[in-house]
Structure 1
Amino acid sequence: METVPQTFSVTSAVELATVERGGFVESRHAGAAIVLDADGTVARQLGDVSALIFPRSTLKPIQALACLTAGAPLEGVQLGLATASHSGTDAHVAVVRSILEAAELGEDDLGCPPDWPGDRATRDEMVREHYSAARVRMNCSGKHAAMLLTCKTAGWDPTTYLDPVHPLQVQIRELTERLSGERVAATAIDGCGAPVHAISLSGLAKAVQRIGTSSPTSPFALHRSAGHLVQAVRDNPWTIAGPGRDDTVIMERLGVFSKVGAEGVHIMVAPGGTTVALKTLDGSSRASAAVGLRLLELAGALDPAAVADTVERLPLTVYGGGQDVGRIRPAF
């Protein structure tokens, strides 16, 4: 029988976080994590970091970088949205529409599915005004708009841009392999409809660190593009997620390049280059931001007081009857 590619097992995971309710540890999140020093050496690893994972939306920096290297004229807030899992506010949507306008395409050309915005106030307003779910409100619409603009710029067919053998998707796959130093072990379709590639957690950390430590003034074109990408997000942290969202809060307060992905994946690159990549095995992302920040703090990459202040602003409170009755905490 053919072996099916899969991620690490329960026995290969370690405890990353606990969930307390009334002083009682109600749940535990197990997973794997790796910390790279600024020079790329492994500073710490928890669990099996060589096992395969789907990076999910933590692949977006690589996807956006592929768009840049293919000639897409993206910068500033447009580049931030190309890397985003945004909350669908009107401000996010306005930028996505500006990318589509530059491509001379419309919202119906987006290959991502219609969705409601993650931002509650925006969604409530849409319901009051009798709007429906829309492709442009989907959290990956910025990435999809950037892919369409890339196709129009490069002269590629925009109607098949999600096909794994499309020139853009081939370029994304090759860049994933180049930056991670690994061959893609499996390819599937992400929730937004784009191809997603399996690499190890260690490979993901290497790829993200190479992007996160690049300079806009590098003599090498790829690193210049990566530096512009990271700078665009750090200059416009609202683009990557949205008001009050983990990645935006972390970037605003700590300057950390942070990107969450579905199924409990999270990547972070501190200003000095120290990098964290982690995955919770149960697929929950509720503890991932706190775990990542704690690992960066323990590595000496972030000031403990600044981390504590930032963590207080993340949604880690456990409620009972509307009252604060507990906390989601890193296990170390």
Structure 2
Amino acid sequence: MPQTFSVADAVELAVVERSGFVESRHAGSAIVLAPDSTISVQLGDTTTPILPRSSLKPLQALACLSAGAPLEGERLALATASHSGTDRHVAVVRDVLAAAGLNEDALACPVSWPLDQRTRDEMVRDHAESSRIRMNCSGKHAAMLLTCVTNGWDTDGYLDPEHPLQVHIRDVIERLIGEKVTATAIDGCGAPVYGMSLLGLARAIHRIGNSSERSPFALHRSAGTMVRAVRENPWTIDGPGRADTIVIERLGVFAKGGAEGVMVMVAPDGTTVALKMLDGSGRAATAVALRLLERAGALAASDVSDAMNMLPLSVLGGGTDVGAIRPAF
């Protein structure tokens, strides 16, 4: 059975401290690529495959662009998102579906309540129901459907790994990661997700984050446009008060977290980090990635500390801060 790296091949990346007592430890692997793409830091096993989960979304969105999907601005940014399901997010998803001549019934992602608590509370008060369009991956799915319509591909079965859309996406992913995918699994939203090394994922995100809209290569121009769209519309990729949105707004990084403790970031200077928490918890992933970028000289320590103060890293005791989730280095 395909599997990720073992506990023996991981390193301690974060700890949870309560009242001066280290209560829990998060082990995993991480890699940092310098702006010139050379490896500057390598912690743990970075060659055994992982499943990137939603950190794969920038690659999937770029593949949709390369297949001719007419996406730009907030529509393009939302194609990379794990959004929190606010009304603003949903309005953009509906715009993308309308551009494809479709409605939310075409979405094949699961029915879900929004991740944004305020929006969920309002829906409950209004006796509204959960829906596919509120699911955090609906932007990606809408982009996939628009890509199918643009190319004359059948929208039924668009999540099948052998559908022309998914075959194209897999081909683009392999070009970006510089290796063949090692496994095909089904993500929580129903779309294919592929096994790849953490090094391969870092390589792909580095290429995307360092691409120029003036590149002679179409894929690189599209990647540059996509990164700009995310940095100009940080609310799209996550949501109010949520980690990816905070660090994009505060630090100008390109960031995308994924389920099971995956995180990728590209600093403004091109330094790139990719990491995987082995226990699947993402609660320390953003903080660890930021500190790794700080250690690499890509972000100022004061700026990182300011951003981390806005993240949910406090450990509470009796309603009072008594500790913190923090990087282990």
| TM-score, normalised by the number of residues in structure 1 | 0.98
Identity over the aligned pairs, expressed in percent? 70
Q: CA RMSD in A?
A: 0.5
| Aligned counterpart, 2:221 | 224
| Aligned counterpart, 2:267 | 270
| Aligned counterpart, 2:85 | 88
| Per-residue Cα deviation, 1:12-69 (whole angstroms, up to 9, x for no partner) | 0000000011111110000000000000000010000011000000100010001001
| Per-residue Cα deviation, 1:102-133 (whole angstroms, up to 9, x for no partner) | 11111111010000000000000011111111
**C-alpha separation between the residues in 1 aligned to 2:59 and 2:164?**
15
- Residue from 165, 170, 174 that aligns with 2:171: 174
What secondary structure, in the 3-state scheme, does the structure 2 residue paired with 1:302 have? coil
1:165 positional shift: 0.5
**C-alpha separation between the residues in 2 aligned to 1:157 and 1:7?**
34
- 1:99-110 mapped onto 2 (5 Å cutoff): 99-110=96-107
Structure 2: which amino acid aligns with 1:230? V
| Aligned counterpart, 2:192 | 195
| Aligned counterpart, 1:248 | 245
1:320 positional shift: 1.7
- 1:9-88 mapped onto 2 (5 Å cutoff): 9-88=6-85
**C-alpha separation between the residues in 2 aligned to 1:185 and 1:291?**
27
Structure 1: which amino acid aligns with 2:227? V
Structure 2: which amino acid aligns with 1:72? A
| Aligned counterpart, 1:238 | 235
Does 2:120 align with 1:123?
yes
Does 2:137 align with 1:140?
yes
What secondary structure, in the 3-state scheme, does the structure 2 residue paired with 1:327 have? strand
What secondary structure, in the 3-state scheme, does the structure 2 residue paired with 1:86 have? coil
- 1:198-209 mapped onto 2 (5 Å cutoff): 198-209=195-206
Unaligned stretches of 5+ residues in structure 1: none
| Aligned counterpart, 1:300 | 297
Unaligned stretches of 5+ residues in structure 2: none
| Aligned counterpart, 1:156 | 153
**C-alpha separation between the residues in 2 aligned to 1:197 and 1:74?**
24
1:217 positional shift: 1.5
Runs of 4+ in 1 over 6 A off after TM superposition: none
1:176 positional shift: 1.0
**C-alpha separation between the residues in 1 aligned to 2:318 and 2:100?**
49
1:319 positional shift: 1.1
**C-alpha separation between the residues in 2 aligned to 1:320 and 1:310?**
23
What secondary structure, in the 3-state scheme, does the structure 1 residue paired with 2:42 have? strand
| Aligned counterpart, 1:165 | 162
| Per-residue Cα deviation, 1:240-264 (whole angstroms, up to 9, x for no partner) | 0011111100000100000000000
**C-alpha separation between the residues in 1 aligned to 2:144 and 2:184?**
18
What secondary structure, in the 3-state scheme, does the structure 1 residue paired with 2:144 have? helix
Q: How many residue pairs were aligned?
A: 329
**C-alpha separation between the residues in 1 aligned to 2:33 and 2:181?**
21
1:323 positional shift: 1.3
| Aligned counterpart, 1:289 | 286
Does 2:29 align with 1:6?
no
| TM-score, normalised by the number of residues in structure 2 | 0.99
| Per-residue Cα deviation, 1:139-166 (whole angstroms, up to 9, x for no partner) | 0000000000000011100111101001
What secondary structure, in the 3-state scheme, does the structure 2 residue paired with 1:35 have? strand
Structure 2: which amino acid aligns with 1:87? S
What secondary structure, in the 3-state scheme, does the structure 2 residue paired with 1:306 have? helix
**C-alpha separation between the residues in 2 aligned to 1:97 and 1:209?**
31
